[in-house]
Amino acid sequence: MKAFKRSVIALFLFPFLTNTIAYAQLRGLGYIDSIKKDLKKNPAVDTNRIKSYYRIANDYTYIDVDSALHYADIGMALAQKLNFKKAIAAFHSLYADVASDRGEYDKAIELYNKAVSIDIEIGNKNNLASAYNNIGTANQRRGNFIESLKYNFRALKIAEEIKSYYLMGTLYNNISKVFIAQANYDKALYYSSKALKLHTQQHDKDGMASATNSIADVFYLQKNRKKANEYYRKAHELYKAVNNTLGEATALSRLGLIYEGVDREKKLSYLLEAQKMFDAFSPKHPSSITNIGNIGDLYAETIITNKPLTGKLPPGVPSDKEKISALAKQYLNRAISYATETDDTDDLSYFSEDLALLQEKEGDFKGALQNYRKAKGINDSLYSQQSKNKLAMMEAQYQFQKKEDAYKQQQQISALKMRQIVLVSVLVFIVAVAVMILLLNRARIKQLRLKNELQRKEAEEQARELLYRNKLSESELKAIRSQMNPHFIFNVLNSIESYVLENDSKTASRLVQKFATLSRLILENSTQSMVVAEREWKALKLYTELEAIRFNHQFSYEFYADPDLDMTKLMLPPMLVQPLIENSIHHGLRNSTAEKPAVNVRLEQTDAVIYFTVDDTGIGMDEAEKFKTHSSVKSKSIGLNAIRERIEIINAMNNGNHAAFEVRPKTVDEGTGTVAVLTLPKVLKST
């Protein structure tokens, strides 16, 4: 007599339907009743009413299939009346889900293909990926693993393209189940673990339960009972939390298999408890068929091995050998009948062979030979080496396609970068010409001053003043280069171009206006040693706003000016504060992991001086040192040195020490970050 085989695990994929008709993930009669009440309060026949019928029908699929179909019929009729194509496709998929759960796989595939046609027509990629996955589910349930994996990877490609992490998690889990069926446990564990990670990130308990169940399947098949028991129990609790009856029954069935060869009575108790739930929900579901067969397996084992059940038996289980034999045949024939009806070749093969072993033991050699031949023929077609090779080739093709798509995308990005470089070069040329004109103009003024016939003392004073002004001009030009460096220009233009490409012309237009205004202010202010505070304050705000856009609003900012200050009369040295804001953003906020990093700029006054304070909640000066490259250290050093140099010039020209500059890390009480304070003499515009 042949060795008795282990109990089989049903490998089924959970079909899903995620569409633009958003619905709550909560399940249960309470949730359904609340939607019904809303329908009574709002009798209007519109798309919202159709969505409500869909939510009721979808949630009933986990509780009462007949009720699910009833509400689906009502919703479909309204959707067709209003020509609501998204809903029509969704109801086709819901009908297909029910058909697939009942084992009517040809009908399910036909309905899924109707949904596919509509989704392609309206460009609904989310639902298209769902439909492809569900076609793969139906093919997997009838043992066609090649077609199943083909549709799974087709759906996965769309899900990754639209960055739908929920769909990706479900697909990873479904792919893992196909690899379990082929005994490729490394691949199965790889994909199911990826699925669990994504579902956990999305807080999707139903998806977490399915992925956890798949991981447990792998551990069970690898004979790691301890790990399998741990993950099956986790899956059962997760299914129970979302009222997923089918999932609960499946997890109980798996838990029963843990006790195989250890405690047959406990195993039988779990299997029978699971079957009560399966019979109430969907007796022809693949997991139900497998559970029925496994119950028959256990009864048959007691006959084949002459080891009767002992101890405390579950209610209704006889101890008589003949009755046990009759139950074994009853359950095995029921499993074979359902598997034949639903074209479940995997279960049909397995339980046909089990029945053959029992018939051989009891002397029914004719029946045993017929069932063994049936099982052998199905096994040869299911698990041929050719099928395994096709699976491996299909995954390799998918990986190659991913790399090819990534290469094409990189080529497109390179082309865009080249265009941006050209634009930046043109802008830099314009700025260079403007600076050259400015320098020529200053040189002409210098020559005129040198020609003045003044007294020696006056000439020396003028020469010294001119020297300081030249140094100040050089420092201001450094500030201009700091504000208008190529990286800043490049990224602003990149942001503008992205909005243009996304057809967001209004946002792109606003960015162009802000950038143009900032450029004009910088160039105009750079021709003067002192400018009106109102203009400088506006330039600082524009610069900070553009940097925030450049870094995708990674930080927030706030500007405060003493309301008693007359910004139209106060005079400031141009572009003196900007390097402090730039350092705060690039060295403090950009590398911050805080939830809401921010920079605050304040302008305050006393009777004689004004204070500029740049306060950020970034990573602080010490931590910033760890992120610095050589170029960033150099740029920061140049910016701060330029400020100090200009402070010295201002003090020399004013014959005093009214201007000062300080930068320090925040104290422990102040929190993380850096504070920079710039003190300047108060200069008002002459009337």
Share of the chain above pLDDT 70, in %: 82
Alpha helices (H) along 142-263? 145-161, 165-181, 185-201, 205-221, 225-241, 245-258
Cα(547)–Cα(582) distance, integer angstroms: 9
Contacts of 171 (CB under 8 A, 6+ apart): 129, 133, 152, 155, 156, 159, 195
Degrees to nearest 5, angle at CA 581 with 576 and 583: 105
Q: 121-150: per-residue pLDDT in tens?
A: 998 888 888 889 889 888 877 767 778 888
Residue 95 φ/ψ, nearest 5 degrees: -60, -40
According to DSSP, the residues that pair with 532 across neighbouring strands are: 571
Residue 469 has pLDDT above 80, yes or no: no
The hierarchical CATH code for the domain 515-684 is 3.30.565.10
Q: Which amino acid is at 170?
A: T
Joined together, the tokens standing for residue 99 give: 């058909």
In this structure, which topology does domain 181-258 adopt according to CATH? Answer: 1.25.40
Residue 295: name the closest of 259, 337, 330, 248 by CA: 330
Q: Sheet with 570-572: list strands edge to edge.
A: 531-532, 570-572, 683-684
Are the beta carbons of 86 and 20 closer than 8 angstroms? yes
Confidence of residue 468 (pLDDT cuts 50, 70, 90): low
State the CB neighbour count (10 A cutoff) for residue 412: 10
What are the extents of the domains in the chain? 16-163, 181-258, 271-383, 515-684
Residue-by-residue DSSP string for 386-413: HHHHHHHHHHHHHHHHHHHHHHHHHHHH
Cα(639)–Cα(600) distance, integer angstroms: 19
Q: 182-240: per-residue pLDDT in tens?
A: 788 999 999 999 999 999 998 999 899 999 999 999 999 999 999 999 999 999 999 99
Half-sphere exposure of 593 (CA within 13 A, CB side): 1
pLDDT of residue 12: 39
Cα(176)–Cα(36) distance, integer angstroms: 38
Question: Is 610 strand, coil or helix?
Answer: strand
If phi over 0 gives left and psi between -120 and 50 gives alpha, with beta otherwise, what is residue 78? alpha
Are the beta carbons of 169 and 204 closer than 8 angstroms? yes
Q: 322-380: per-residue pLDDT in tens?
A: 888 888 889 989 998 898 887 777 788 888 888 888 888 878 888 778 777 777 777 66
According to DSSP, the residues that pair with 683 across neighbouring strands are: 571
Q: Which amino acid is at 141?
A: R
Residue 215 φ/ψ, nearest 5 degrees: -60, -40
Averaged pLDDT score across all residues of the chain: 80
- Using the Cα atoms of residue 283, residue 288, residue 289 and residue 291 in order, give the sign of their dihedral: negative
The predicted model gives 628-641 an average pLDDT of 54
Cα(127)–Cα(117) distance, integer angstroms: 11
Question: Does the fold of domain 181-258 match that of domain 16-163?
Answer: yes
Lowest-confidence segment of 490-504, 518-532, 588-602, 649-663 by average pLDDT: 490-504
State the CB neighbour count (10 A cutoff) for residue 447: 9
Q: Which CATH number fits domain 16-163: 1.25.40.10, 1.10.10.60, 1.10.1740.10, 1.20.120.160?
A: 1.25.40.10
Joined together, the tokens standing for residue 431 give: 């700025």
